[in-house]
Every structure is written in structure tokens, then in C-alpha cells.
Amino acid sequence: MKHQGTILLLALCTALAACDAPDFNYRGENGRISLDGNVLTLHVDDVPDATVGSSGDFIVDGKVESISSAQHGLLVLYYQGVADIRDQANGLKAGVTAAKNAFVEKPGPDAKQKLKEAVESQAHQMSVKMCQDEVNLAGVQAQLVAQLPAFKPYGNIFPAKHADECTKA
């Protein structure tokens, strides 16, 4: 019973991390992204940086790109997909920290095993969710490449994945 509080703490830390998520960086196959506040910046070698705002605006090298409403919707989905991955990554970090702190109490062998199993289960669930978010984001990225020529240089940051890859052990 003593470690139910630890599990609750782990869950609360995860929720709080998602609410107050710090800046985020992701290095993909052919570039990287950074999310700072409500601006997502796309960095690819040999092309100017581009930004996607939380409202779906798209700016390349300081120039606002003209986009259709469908493209705007995809850009909003792209931004939200990156924010979802950031939230999962930050939640996973908070969970690991909470688990480490729980072991400071020096639990007995049975409690230690239960705590370990709970942490492993939650970490697995969060990593599957993060993988699913990456699958979804890669799909949106592919649609943006097909529909928005100015997005094409940034279209290979997230590698194409299939959902079945997320459930592999």
C-alpha cells in the first residue's frame, strides 16, 4: 500500500510535465526540429529554416508562405503532432525521475519488484504512444510534401513508420 502513493506521484509528475512542457528538440533522419513556445522551427542542411506556428502559419526564410485552408489544417496537425511527441517525451522523463526518487525509500524486495513492474509498464505504454504519434506525424508530413511545395525540403525530418513497428518488443 505504501507504494501506491509512489505510483500516484509518478502519474501526477507525468501529467504536470505535459502541462508545463519545456522547450523541445528532435533530431530526425534528415534534419531537426525545435519547439520553443508556440513556434516550431524546421532545420534542414542547405535550406533556410522554416517555422510553423501553433495557428498553422508557415514561414520560410522570413517570408510568409501563401497556403490554402487544407494546407493550413495540415500545418496545425503537424504542429500538434510535434507537441504531442514533446509531451510524451517530457512525461517519460518525469516518470523516470519519480521512479528513481521512489527507490530512495529503500523498499522491500516485493515492493521493489511491484514498483519496477509498474514503472516498466507505464514506460512501455508511453513509448508506444510516442511511436504512434510519430507514425501520425510522418503521415501528415507526407501529405504536406504532396500538397505544399514549399514544405518539400522539410519533408524527411520524421522517418516513415508503420504502426506495427510501435508494438514490437
pLDDT one-digit tens code per residue, 118-127: 777 777 888 8
The whole-number average pLDDT for the span 65-75 is: 96
With b for 16 or more beta-carbon neighbours within 10 A and e for fewer, the 141-163 pattern comes to bebbeeebebbebbbbbbeebee
**Crossing angle of helices 109-147 and 69-102, rounded to 10°:** 170
* Mean pLDDT value across the chain: 80
Helices then strands, counting H and E runs in the chain, come out as 3, 6
Task: Categorize the per-residue pLDDT at 105 as very low, low, confident or very high, splitting at 50, 70 and 90.
Answer: low
pLDDT of residue 112: 73
Asked if the model's pLDDT at residue 59 lies above 80, the reply is: yes
